[in-house]
């Protein structure tokens, strides 16, 4: 330690009263590696135990829409039930020209 006027100049180890062995770097590096390894194990085991028929969300939505469209049309897609405005509310069978009948 040196004194120059009112200033005190000290070496790093003297000012801290300890040495710096860089342990923090090793702790951070080991922790980072452990976290990556643990998340990789979780990801791989999750993928291995899941069913192999995974679909994307878009594919699930399209499949649901196709199912709804088919269910709405049903087997009677060639026939449309409609009532004329001047008659009663009972449904009448009207042939669908686009269905080829």
pLDDT beyond 80 at 91: no
Burial classification of residue 57, based on how many CB atoms lie within 10 Å of its CB (0-12 exposed, 13-18 middle, 19 or more buried): exposed
**H/E stretch holding 58:** helix 57-73
pLDDT tens, position by position, 28-75: 999 999 999 999 999 999 888 877 666 677 777 888 887 776 655 555
For the chain, the domains span 1-40
Q: Provide the pLDDT confidence category of residue 8 given band limits of 50, 70 and 90.
A: confident
Coil, strand or helix at 41: helix
Q: What tokens were used for 66?
A: 């196709």
| Global model pTM greater than 0.85 | no
pLDDT tens, position by position, 65-84: 877 766 555 555 556 666 55
Sign of the CA dihedral with 73 first, then 78, 84, and 87 last? negative
């Amino acid at each position: 330690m040196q004194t120059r006027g009112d200033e005190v100049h000290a070496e790093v180890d003297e000012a801290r009263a300890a040495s710096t062995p860089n342990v923090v770097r090793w702790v951070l590096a080991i922790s980072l590696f452990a976290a990556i390894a643990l998340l990789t194990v979780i990801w791989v085991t999750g993928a291995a135990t899941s069913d192999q028929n995974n679909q994307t969300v878009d594919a699930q939505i399209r499949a649901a829409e196709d199912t709804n469209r088919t269910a709405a049309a049903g087997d009677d897609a060639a026939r449309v039930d409609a009532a004329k405005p001047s008659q009663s509310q009972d449904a009448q069978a009207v042939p669908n020209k686009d269905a080829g009948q």
